[in-house]
Amino acid sequence: MTEIDRMLAANREWMAHFPGDLPVAPVRGVAVVACMDSRLPLFGMLGLGMGDAHVIRNAGGVVTDDTLRSLAISQHLLGTRAIVLVHHTDCGLQKASDEEFADLVESRTGHRPPWAARAFIDVDADVRESMRAIAAAPYLLSDEVRGTVYDVASGLLREVV
């Protein structure tokens, strides 16, 4: 059985607890921008249930053009206003520079990616940069934007000010 087969089987078991028809707009009016790291249990650590929030995940939880696109849709079509950023300690994007990553991809595939990995050293500084990018987007209507760092060793979520 492959990993995807296991996931499909788990879905059949999960159906017994499926909550039913939920509204498309997030009930709590919030969007979460977070890293894709599998150690971040976003729903549990933020006290969220199904239908509560939009969750936008990517490598590093960085605010890219596509993140801004998703936030604009979340706000203008579905009514969210608050945004919380969730970055974390021991992030994979802290393991190499943009140049080192591009070199690695090129050495393995023969092709250099046309985009930057957006590697960083200081996670708090990266959270602040993401908050600045959201604040600078003139098409967002954010009433509240807050940044956090999740400690993967302790489970603590701390706010970056």
Residue boundaries of the structural domains of the chain: 25-160
Please give the model's pTM, rounded to 2 decimal places.
Answer: 0.92
40: left (phi over 0), alpha (psi -120 to 50) or beta: beta
Q: State residue 107's pLDDT score.
A: 98
Question: For the segment 52-77, what is each residue's pLDDT rounded down to a tens digit?
Answer: 999 999 999 999 999 999 999 999 99
Confidence at residue 149, expressed as pLDDT on a 0 to 100 scale: 98
Q: Which fold has domain 25-160?
A: Beta-carbonic Anhydrase; Chain A (3.40.1050)
Report, as ranges of residue numbers, the positions in the chain whose pLDDT lies below 50. Answer: none
3-state helix, strand, coil in the chain (%, to 5): 40, 20, 40
